[in-house]
């Protein structure tokens, strides 16, 4: 998870650029909160897909691991929930839980889905910050960043792991949520 924050600043720039395109446009006054709204919309879309996938797979499929050395589907869901809690706590100024706390403690589909949903609710508070607050300087993995930079990092991280989820589902002959009509 430790990556240069510059990668996520680039990702945020791309997210904002995409969000301003007509296909992704959000109703707004065009004020400074428009970028946060676009980022929140992208994050919400991705976490919705992750949550639907988490609900669809069976308890047995939570143990699926494509190859040795990678997370099981269940561990992946726990990792996403734990990272969301950690990064959104940073944005909200709350005590940060360990990134791997959920991944190491939750072992059933029910507990993992509940933890994922709880992390989504918690992060929704972080994505509701104003543009003024979003520019506040914070430390992310030992590098200077901003609160909006941490939110971008979270959104990109979720997107990376939704890509894993898509692959896991396809390898099991399932259609991922984003591909269903």
Given this model, what pLDDT does residue 35 score? 87
For residue 15, is pLDDT > 50?
A: no
For residue 68, is pLDDT > 60?
A: yes
Given this model, what pLDDT does residue 2 score? 54
Instruction: Give burial (CB, 10 Å; 0-12/13-18/19+) of 164.
Output: middle
Averaged pLDDT, 67-96: 97
Q: Which 3 state secondary structure label does DSSP give 143?
A: strand
Nearest alpha-carbon partner for 85 in 110, 58, 62, 106: 106
Q: At what angle do helices 5-19 and 147-171 cross, to 10 degrees?
A: 80
Q: What pTM value is reported for the model?
A: 0.83
Measured at the CA of 110, the angle between CA 106 and CA 116, to 5 degrees, comes to 70
For residue 162, is pLDDT > 60?
A: yes
Given this model, what pLDDT does residue 17 score? 37
Given this model, what pLDDT does residue 30 score? 64
Given this model, what pLDDT does residue 27 score? 47
Q: In this structure, are residues 157 and 149 in contact, taking their beta carbons and an 8 Å threshold?
A: no
Averaged pLDDT, 147-159: 97
For residue 18, is pLDDT > 90?
A: no
Superfamily the domain 5-25+33-175 falls into: dinb family like domain (1.20.120.450)
- Based on its alpha-carbon atoms, the radius of gyration of the chain, rounded to whole angstroms, reads 16
| pLDDT tens, position by position, 92-105 | 999 999 999 999 99
Q: In this structure, are residues 46 and 119 in contact, taking their beta carbons and an 8 Å threshold?
A: no
Given this model, what pLDDT does residue 113 score? 98
Q: In this structure, are residues 141 and 91 in contact, taking their beta carbons and an 8 Å threshold?
A: no
Interatomic CA distance for residues 78 and 117, integer angstroms: 11
């Amino acid at each position: 998870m430790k990556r240069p924050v510059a990668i996520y600043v680039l990702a945020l720039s791309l997210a904002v650029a995409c969000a301003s395109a007509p296909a992704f446009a959000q109703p707004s006054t065009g004020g400074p909160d428009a970028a946060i709204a676009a980022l929140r919309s992208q994050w919400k879309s991705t976490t919705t897909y992750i949550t639907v996938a988490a609900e669809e797979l069976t308890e047995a499929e939570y143990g699926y691991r494509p190859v040795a050395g990678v997370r099981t589907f269940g561990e992946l869901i726990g990792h996403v929930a734990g990272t969301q809690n950690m990064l959104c706590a940073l944005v909200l100024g709350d005590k940060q839980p360990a990134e791997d706390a959920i991944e190491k403690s939750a072992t059933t589909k029910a507990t993992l889905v509940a933890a994922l949903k709880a992390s989504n609710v918690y992060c929704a508070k972080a994505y509701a910050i104003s543009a003024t607050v979003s520019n506040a300087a914070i430390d992310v993995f030992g590098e200077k960043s901003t609160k909006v930079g941490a939110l971008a990092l979270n959104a990109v991280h979720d997107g990376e792991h939704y890509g894993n989820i898509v692959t896991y589902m396809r390898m099991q002959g399932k259609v991922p949520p984003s591909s269903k009509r």
